[in-house]
Amino acid sequence: MATEIQISFDANNPPKLADFWAQALGYVHQPPPPGFATWEEFAIKNNIPFDSADDYAALIDPDGKGPRLLFQRVPEGKTAKNRMHLDLRTGLDAVDRLVGLGATRVREHNDQTGHWVVMLDPEGNEFCVS
């Protein structure tokens, strides 16, 4: 049996970055646990300071197939190239839509291994579109 995974992103602004990736991937914000109408209600019931609610955001695949994405606030900014990145297999026609959402087009790559566009999300994390 395969191991379930979560992909975690360090972020300056977790809710904003989560909004970008939700639109880019067709994911949705994770609803609060059963029995709670809101995340604020969950935080209060569990003695979690809600003033730090923007320190985290989570997305899920509405079809339940893809991994959960967690966005967590970190004090430092991005300083180097990602050692791992996402490849979106949406077709190159998605590049303009992603730019409209806040991504940056970096360069196009085309060789015997394939054709893709290297991009940056709103916080500078690299990803590719093919």
- Where is pLDDT greater, at 19 or 56? 19
Class of domain 84-130: alpha beta
> Average pLDDT over the chain, rounded to whole?
93
Cα 103 from Cα 28, distance rounded (Å): 19
* Confidence at residue 69, expressed as pLDDT on a 0 to 100 scale: 97
> What are the pLDDT digits (tens) for 78-105?
888 888 999 999 999 999 999 999 999 9
Cα 11 from Cα 74, distance rounded (Å): 6
| CATH 3.30.720.120 in the chain, residue ranges | 1-75
| CATH 3.10.180.10 in the chain, residue ranges | 84-130
- Where is pLDDT greater, at 58 or 2? 58
Cα 28 from Cα 59, distance rounded (Å): 5
User: pLDDT grade, residue 26 (50/70/90)?
Assistant: very high
Tokens representing 25? 């991937």
* Confidence at residue 17, expressed as pLDDT on a 0 to 100 scale: 97
* Confidence at residue 79, expressed as pLDDT on a 0 to 100 scale: 86
Kindly indicate whether the domain formed by 1-75 is annotated with CATH number 3.40.50.10070.
no
Kindly state the average pLDDT of the residues 57-86: 93
Contact 42, 36 (CB under 8 A): yes
pLDDT at 62 over 90: yes
> What are the pLDDT digits (tens) for 30-43?
999 999 998 888 88
pLDDT at 50 over 90: no
